[in-house]
Amino acid sequence: MKDDEKHIIRRILNGETALYEYFLDTYGQQVFSLIVRIVSNQEDAEELTQDVFLKAFQHLESFKGSSSFSTWIYSIAYNTAISSARKKKFDTFAMDDTLLANISDAQVDEALNEEGEEQIAKLKRAVEQLDSEERALISLFYYEEKTMHEVALISGLTESNAKVKLHRIRKKIYVLMKQETV
């Protein structure tokens, strides 16, 4: 973690609470972006983002610095957004494991690496059909460009489990995109 962030946290914990604005300014938009991709609703995401920063402030003394502050706040955001999405129980598309097993990685890579407005629109619609946890993992790894280690820390998964889930999600997106053209 950045030494200046450790210093700011110490000062906040010693009573200089106005310094917390640094974390809002530095991470607010990133946290909001992650949450809105998980819950798919801007108003809910705005409210949840406020909740995340309030929780982080209230539990700042529990931050030990073993990971970066950004990983810690992302973890709070991830859990808050997933919890909210589960309460709303979005209808999601379930998929048979055998169907996914019969799809080669080359097929998936070829389809997902295609560029063009129509392909990007299909990809976006496919991602919207994923459940909240799947959208969160895709968001963290591809949109937020977190490392697999960071994705695992944020989501509470092991690195190998996160890799397997991302691999399955990519195949699921491929199927959803292909079904749209049928």
For 46-103, the pLDDT digits (tens) are 999 999 999 999 999 998 888 889 999 999 999 999 988 877 755 455 566 666 666 7
Give residue limits of the domains in the chain. Answer: 3-88, 97-181
**Among positive and negative, which fits the CA dihedral 120, 131, 87, 161?**
negative
pLDDT band for position 19 (50/70/90)? very high
Q: What is the mean pLDDT of the chain?
A: 86
Rounded distance, CA 175 to CA 45, Å? 28
Work out the percent of the chain whose per-residue pLDDT is above 70. Answer: 89
- Quick check: 132 and 90 in contact, CB under 8 A? yes
Q: Which residues contact 45 (CB under 8 A, 6 or more apart)?
A: 32, 35, 36, 39, 81
Is the pLDDT at 125 greater than 70, yes or no? yes
107: enclosing H helix or E strand: helix 105-113
How crowded is the C-beta side of 135, counted as CA atoms within 13 Å?
26
> Which candidate, 137, 135, 129, places its Cα nearest to that of 159?
137
Query: For the domain bounded by 3-88, which CATH number is listed?
Result: 1.10.1740.10
The CATH number for 97-181, chosen from 3.20.20.70, 1.10.599.10, 1.10.10.10, 1.10.132.20, is 1.10.10.10
Instruction: Check whether 176 has a pLDDT greater than 70.
Output: yes
CA separation for the pair 21, 26 (Å, rounded): 8
